[in-house]
Amino acid sequence: MAKIVTFGEAMIRLAPPHFQRLEQARSLDVEVGGAELNTSVALARLGHQVSWVSRLPDNPLGQVILNRSREAGVDTTQVQLVNDGRCGLYFLEFGAAPRSSSIMYDRQESSFARVNRDDFHWLNILNGASWFHVSGITPALSNGAEAATALALQTARMLNIPTSIDLNYRSKLWTPQDAGRVMSELLTFCDTLFATENDALQLFDIRGNSFAEVAGELIERFGLKQVVGVKRETPLVWRNRFGAVGYADGSYQETPWYDVEIVDRLGAGDALAAGVIHGLLQGNFTQGLEFGAALGALKHSIPGDLPYINMADIEAVLSGHGLRIQR
């Protein structure tokens, strides 16, 4: 399998059990998550050697994230434990219709956000890698994070390593203007983009009548190879419909819809990205979309952000095995 490098922050996630409001909480369940880490875990479980590059405080909270990444099979040798900044946290409330789930971030002054442009030696880190992946959250965290992201992408391009970016625009981190300006630069070093039509509109003022149209425009403007999106319907909080859409080589394709019963909605998009990367590493974009849709759909059934999913699970979904109990 391939060596894959990802770059981004992970946080401790704290959520009250059983649909409690935070106000009611007497205990909080502890999970860890972060866009690139989530993707890394999915890829590691498919057999790849995945090096997640990050920065964590050298304290028990940072250690929790390090430990769980290792538990999930991710290579953490490029994670720096530093005495600079705190551990990012986020608080999650699980909802039920008509109350949606919601997230409150407490990530200011994190060790990751305090990264400097040159804290990582990308030439060494990317040496021998077959893929580099990052999300749009990473450069949003600070100027240093933006600079480090740019350096990583440039180095990857220089080494002819395929790259992917999950646009993942977060309005609480930066304005559409700032995001548009920064991501426009970064996308010039990108091969595969994960994006929604809405983000394309907000960040790049690209509008179209369809995902295909928007994706085509993105590919043209930034010199991408393919664009991948999520399709999702949310009639309820505990039940959605989910699938993947993609555009490459001038043609649009989409997977079937999956009915998903939602145990934990977080990380579905990150799992989807892992499936697409896995497919592309095998040279098969169509299969990548299928893997991605299956991984993303399955992620909804698993507590926490990390996708504890095996290839056997994916195959069961793709083969239409049905939903009877497996004995």
In the region spanning residues 163 to 182, those forming contacts with a copy of itself, defined by CB under 8 A, are 170-172
- Of the candidate residues 121, 181, 207, 321, the single one contacting a copy of itself (CB under 8 A): 321
In the region spanning residues 228 to 247, those forming contacts with a copy of itself, defined by CB under 8 A, are 232, 234-239
Active site amino acids: 270
**What tokens were used for 158?**
């220089």
User: What is the amino acid identity at position 268?
Assistant: A
Q: Which range touches a copy of itself (CB under 8 A), out of 121-129, 196-204, 222-230, 310-318?
A: 310-318
Q: Which range touches a copy of itself (CB under 8 A), out of 25-33, 144-152, 158-166, 207-215?
A: 25-33
Q: How far is the CB of 268 from a copy of itself (least distance, A)?
A: 10
- Can you tell me whether residue 200 is helix, strand or coil? helix
Separation between Cα atoms, residue 166 and residue 66, nearest integer Å? 23
Q: How far is the CB of 313 from a copy of itself (least distance, A)?
A: 6
| Spatial contact of 231 and 240, defined as CB atoms under 8 Å apart | no
- Of the candidate residues 109, 118, 220, 315, the single one contacting a copy of itself (CB under 8 A): 109
Of 14 and 129, the one with the shorter C-beta distance to a copy of itself is: 14
| CA distances in angstroms from 187 to 30, 79, 195, 220, 267, listed in the order given | 34, 25, 12, 11, 22
Contacts of 248 (CB under 8 A, 6+ apart): 225, 226, 227, 285
- Of the candidate residues 3, 28, 82, 231, the single one contacting a copy of itself (CB under 8 A): 28
Query: Which residue in 215, 278, 293, 199 sits closest to 249, CA to CA?
Result: 215
Q: How many residues bind a copy of itself (CB under 8 A)?
A: 82
- Of the candidate residues 47, 128, 223, 303, the single one contacting a copy of itself (CB under 8 A): 303
Answer yes or no whether residue 250 interacts with a copy of itself by CB under 8 A.
no
Distance of CA 73 to the CA centre of its chain: 17
> According to DSSP H, which parts of 196-319 are helical?
197-204, 211-222, 268-281, 285-299, 311-318
Q: How far is the CB of 320 from a copy of itself (least distance, A)?
A: 10
Answer yes or no whether residue 20 interacts with a copy of itself by CB under 8 A.
yes
| Spatial contact of 168 and 35, defined as CB atoms under 8 Å apart | yes
Answer yes or no whether residue 261 interacts with a copy of itself by CB under 8 A.
yes
In the region spanning residues 37 to 96, those forming contacts with a copy of itself, defined by CB under 8 A, are 59-61, 63-64, 67-68, 70-73, 86-87, 89, 91, 93, 95-96
Distance of CA 4 to the CA centre of its chain: 14
- Can you tell me whether residue 258 is helix, strand or coil? strand
**Residues, the chain, total?**
327
Of 216 and 292, the one with the shorter C-beta distance to a copy of itself is: 292
